[in-house]
Structure 1
Amino acid sequence: MYLTLAYPTRFLSLNAHLPIFLVIKPATKFLFLGKKTMSTKTQPHAFAGNPLRASTSNTIPTTDESSFSSAFSTLKSILDSTQEGPWRSCNVKVLPFKRGKPLASSSVSPSSSVSGSSDGVPLWHLGWQSLLGCKDFLGSFEVKLSHELLVFLGKQKDVSYWAIDVSAMDSSVVVAQLKGFSFVELRTLMVATDWADTSAMGELAVAGHARALLEWHNLSRFCGYCGARNIPTDGGRRKQCVNESCKKKIYPRIDPVVIMLVIDKDNDRALLSRQSRFVPRMWSCIAGFIEPGESLEEAVRRETIEETGIEIGDVVYHSSQPWPVGPSSMPCQLMVGFFAYAKSFEIRVDKEELEDAQWHSREDVKKALASAEYKKAQRNAAFKVDQMCKGVEKGHSFSADFNVESGELAQMFVPGPFAIAHHLIAGWANGHNADMGPTTSNSVSNL
């Protein structure tokens, strides 16, 4: 039995010229959109698939108000207790952050999917602390632990998870008290994560969610309407102005970005660009922020023609990815990915935005994907995190990790599998232009 629904283009299609038909067949795995096919089974990108938010059999989403109310009530009763017993027995874990860096630890596994040897590659883990440990830690700085300092992340298997910003604490004292741990850049943890390990990807997503909330708190200390102080509410998931005549509520900030692979279908090539801030030899997709009053597909067309002079026709949605590793002024970007089909082909680079933009053949892109040492980069980053947790300082250049096996410099490479740009580029190179992303894998937590 089939059910066919036809809707006006403006409601469902990102193709400005074709009507859209949705054909639904029982037990099927695909949605057929006109002549294009999109898989409905997708594995979350890096920073998506947060196990504390996903609706699985073992998880209560943070959007469940009863879950939050229960966790918050328990937390307050413990914080108000003068007895040590409740502090020791409570199922509460706290993740400290310092200047946007989560606390992490590292251990060596005897086997790893990225090592290919018996040596093992270090595995990083989030540095969760007990509530009592967090209290004692803050107490050493004469700071009293209160619920206003904590941000609720979620609840799972009767354990509630919170984050706290300790940026105001003296760095040397913090390091001395947290031996075996280190505050590590989230981007470094991202590269160090084995993207085939769903547990590690889950931890990365939790860290990204926490960083986005904490950085938003740092940016929203004062009311934008009256200038009075804002205070956290709902476990740090909201803020409210203290001015009785104002009391404006504000919510976490998200900055939407379109990112697109521009395709010359007739000549079987794709447009890749470079920014001056990129590591040497790296090429990626065009991207840009959405402007007020602009649709997603309009943003795709505007950004492409502004930065490269290329006119875009059809725009096809691919997938989206939260991106909490941008500048601290934008604590959580949402990358919305598209395939964009070119109508013109002469490149005129806006040097204010890009260093260069070039057409690349499918074969050249395939070679770049094949030669780049993504596993090597992940392995080296994992060892770097391990050294940091051991207190060993060592400089590191990620660009050197993308050399070919002979040690020679790869002529070009594209971002690794932790970025949506990689999946857009690899999807096109492998002939999966309409695919929505990687294959399905359930999120697994090992917090």
Structure 2
Amino acid sequence: MLFSYSSSIITNFFSKTLIRPHSSHPVLLCTMSLNSHAFAGNPITSRTAKSSDPFSPQSAFQTLKTLLSTQSHDPISPDFKILPFRKGRPLTGSNQPNWHLGWLSLGDFRAFLEKSEVGLSENSLVYLGCKYEDDVVYWAIDVSEASELVSEFGDRQFCFVELRTLMVATDWADSKAMGELAIAGHARALLEWHNAARFCGFCGGKMVPMEAGRRKQCSNELCKKRIYPRVDPVVIMLVIDKENDRVLLSRQSRFVPRMWSCLAGFIEPGESLEEAVRRETWEEAGIEVGEVVYHSSQPWPVGPASMPCQLMVGFFAYAKSLEINVDKKELEDAKWHSREDVKKALTFAEYKKAQETAASKVEQMCKGVEKGQSLSADFNVESGELAPMFVPGPFAIAHHLISSWANQVVMNGTLSNL
């Protein structure tokens, strides 16, 4: 099963059916809600609740402080579940064909920590959210300094797995697995932000967690500067030559061989999203852009720790000029690609094979028998031949932009702009 926007093979998870204007034939509509993208659609509630609500960050935090101060092991309501992270990697288990997050009860986590030199305090745990229907509050914690826990968890067939590996390993038709991925991404973003924001940028004082880790405040009584979790907005755009029915795709030197993708760039201060699209396209490819149309957005918590969570904001950008002038400092190459070539790229890339390979790797890691399989290996077609080109998999918003255009997916009830 190939994961591209082809009407015969796309999963229901990614699409729904509408009627093409002036036609009785159904077409596929990319679901523009956050649930259509990896790392979005977090299933645990993180809403602002009344302080008296036992599931609220304030109430849950007070309960946590009481439990830790009394060393109580009595059952509590709501229940507390903890997800440990090490160097940005969540604790993970695997029951083929799916991986799962390594949630621990507060009691079990305490038992693990007793064998390490790492202490447990209320400020080391970060509130993630809750599930009212299950009577559970979820927390995350960074245990990077407790290296001995790696073997302790390994004895239970748990391991710390890179989030990018889990991203590729996720079965895109499995809504529960996609929810787990979203939770892991949210938790990693919060923990990396806590690690990066240790000191006040105004006075240099120590920053301390507040509101169960949902914000931080300077400990200097003369400052008390508040800061909140950081999000770095990025525009990502598919540049379209409407007259010649083709799109501009680019390569960066860090890409695996034969992979092409959309242009992208960070938004500068005082700049609108549309202005950023036009500026980045001109700077990187020398193409002048006119109309800019919003497509969808995606949280992206798998970047460097210095940018704990990027928000990818996707657009279709319509070219006003066609001559390419590549900025070699930014790109290795950029070329126009016909709709036919792009459809072939989507058909040839065996995303399902990549997902199964990554899932197998996660299982091996959890069993302690990792064989070092490369997730950046070339995608092969079923015949064994190499595809001439391929684009990022369904875990990336670039795939959704490209496949929506290639297959003329309905947006806002019209196909006219595609």
Return closer, same or farther for 1:41/1:313 CA change in 2, 3 Å cut-off.
closer
- Supply the distance in 1 between the matched residues of 2:72 and 2:243 (Cα, whole angstroms): 73
Whether 1:64 and 2:49 are equivalent positions in the alignment is: yes
Where in structure 2 are there 5+ consecutive unaligned residues? 1-17, 22-28, 414-418
Match of 2:218 in 1: 241
Q: What are the Cα deviations for residues 36-91 of structure 1, in whole angstroms up to 9, with x where unaligned?
A: xx9886343100000013xxxxxxx333354222322222222122343247x861
How far apart, CA to CA, are the structure 2 residues paired with 1:228 and 1:271?
48
Are 1:402 and 2:415 an aligned pair?
Answer: no
- Partner of 2:301 in structure 1? 324
1:94 matched to 2:72? The reply is: no
CA contact (8 A) 1:263 1:271 kept: yes
Q: How does 1:363-442 map to 2 (within 5 A)?
A: 363-400=340-377, 402-432=379-409, 434=411
Q: Residue in 2 aligned with 1:208?
A: 185
Give the deviation of 1:146 after TM superposition.
1.2
SS of equivalent residue, structure 1 residue 84 = coil
- The equivalent residue for 1:129 is 104
- Distance apart, 1:286 and its partner CA: 0.2
Q: Could you say which residue in structure 2 is the equivalent of 1:106?
A: 94
* 1:220 positional shift: 0.3
- 1:236-275 C-alpha deviation (Å, 9 max, x unpaired): 1100111011110110000000000000000000000000
- Match for 2:231: what amino acid? I
> Given the alignment of the two structures, is residue 48 of structure 1 paired with residue 25 of structure 2, yes or no?
no
Counterpart mapping for 1:6-405 below 5 A? 42=33, 43-53=35-45, 61-66=46-51, 67-86=56-75, 91-108=79-96, 122-156=97-131, 157-170=134-147, 172-179=148-155, 180-400=157-377, 402-405=379-382
Cα distance change of structure 1 residues 202 and 270 upon mapping to structure 2, 3 Å threshold: same
Shift of 1:396: 2.0
Q: Offset of 1:392 from its aligned partner?
A: 1.2
Q: Which runs of 5+ in 1 are unaligned?
A: 1-28, 33-37, 54-60, 109-121, 437-447
Distance in 1 (CA, whole Å) between partners of 2:36 and 2:61 is 29
The more displaced of 371-380 and 44-53 is 44-53
Residue 66 of structure 2 aligns to which amino acid in structure 1? S
Deviations 1:313-358 (A, max 9, x none): 0000000000000111101000000000000000000000000000
> Size of the alignment, in residue pairs?
380
Return the alpha-carbon distance in structure 1 between the equivalents of residues 406 and 36 of structure 2. 20
Quick one: which amino acid aligns to residue 359 of structure 1? W
Q: Distance in 2 between matches of 1:65 and 1:213?
A: 22
TM-score (norm 1): 0.82
Local SS of the residue matching 2:283: helix
Quote the offset at 1:127 in angstroms.
0.4
Deviation string for 1:261-300 (max 9, x for gaps)?
Answer: 0000000000000000111111000000000000000000
Q: Return the offset for 1:165.
A: 0.1
> Is the contact between residue 105 and residue 125 of structure 1 (CA under 8 Å) also seen in structure 2?
yes
Q: Secondary structure at the match of 1:239?
A: strand
- Tell me the distance in 2 between the aligned counterparts of 1:225 and 1:251: 15
SS in 1 for 2:401: helix
2: distance between equivalents of 1:358 and 1:396?
Answer: 31
What is the identity, as a one-letter code, of the residue corresponding to 2:354? A
Instruction: State, as a whole percentage, how many aligned pairs show the same letter.
Output: 70
Residues 92 and 159, structure 1, Cα contact 8 Å, conserved in 2: yes
What is the aligned-residue RMSD (CA, Å)? 2.0
Query: Shift in Å at residue 435 of structure 1?
Result: 5.9
- Tell me the secondary structure at the aligned position of residue 85 of structure 1: coil
Amino acid at match of 1:46: A
**Structure 1: how far apart are the matches of 2:78 and 2:342?**
53
Q: Distance in 2 between matches of 1:403 and 1:40?
A: 28
Q: Secondary structure at the match of 2:290?
A: strand
Alpha carbons of 1:100 and 1:158: their partners in 2 closer, same or farther (altered >3 Å)?
A: same
* 8 Å contact from structure 1 (residues 104, 181) kept in 2: yes
Provide closer, same or farther for how the CA distance between residues 79 and 330 of structure 1 changes in structure 2, counting only shifts above 3 A. Answer: same
Name the counterpart of 2:11: none
Runs ≥4 residues deviating over 6 A: none
Distance 1:239 1:329 in 2: 17
